[in-house]
Structure 1
Amino acid sequence: MGSLGTVFKIMHWPFNNMIIIIGCIGIVCVYLLHFIEKPIKEQLDYLKLA
């Protein structure tokens, strides 16, 4: 979704900023779910989350 927002931004199509924001929020949600489901969390995992 992030690269789609970039295409919208380059082409000056409407709603480009909204698509970029939705893509970033989606990436954060997916990584957060991956972090929560990970059984063994190390210090590096917490740094990545921050």
Structure 2
Amino acid sequence: MPAYELRSGGDVKNKKQSVADLKYRRLTELNARLKEDLDRPRVKVSEAALS
């Protein structure tokens, strides 16, 4: 039976985790910007047409 060498896959796992963290942070920042856009006061078209 061949002897298999154990590889330390920790580096790959850490890289995948950091990529996932970056994606999560980008999505949360985008979500915050979109919520700010939704909270911005709106002007109705009928009111805007009067001015």
TM-score by length of 2: 0.51
After TM superposition, the structure 1 = structure 2 runs for residues 1-40 of structure 1, keeping only pairs within 5 Å, are 14=14, 15-40=17-42
Q: Deviation per CA, 1:1-50: give whole Å up to 9, x if none.
A: xxxxxxxxxxx671010000000000000000000000048xxxxxxxxx
What letter corresponds to residue 21 of structure 2 in structure 1? I
RMSD (Å), alpha carbons = 2.2
Larger Rg: 2
Q: Which structure's relative contact order is higher, taking Cα pairs within 8 Å and 6+ residues apart?
A: 1
| Matched residue count | 30
Q: Which runs of 5+ in 1 are unaligned?
A: 1-11, 42-50
TM-score by length of 1: 0.52
Question: Aligned letter for 1:18?
Answer: A
- What is the distance in 1 between the residues matched to 2:37 and 2:29? 12
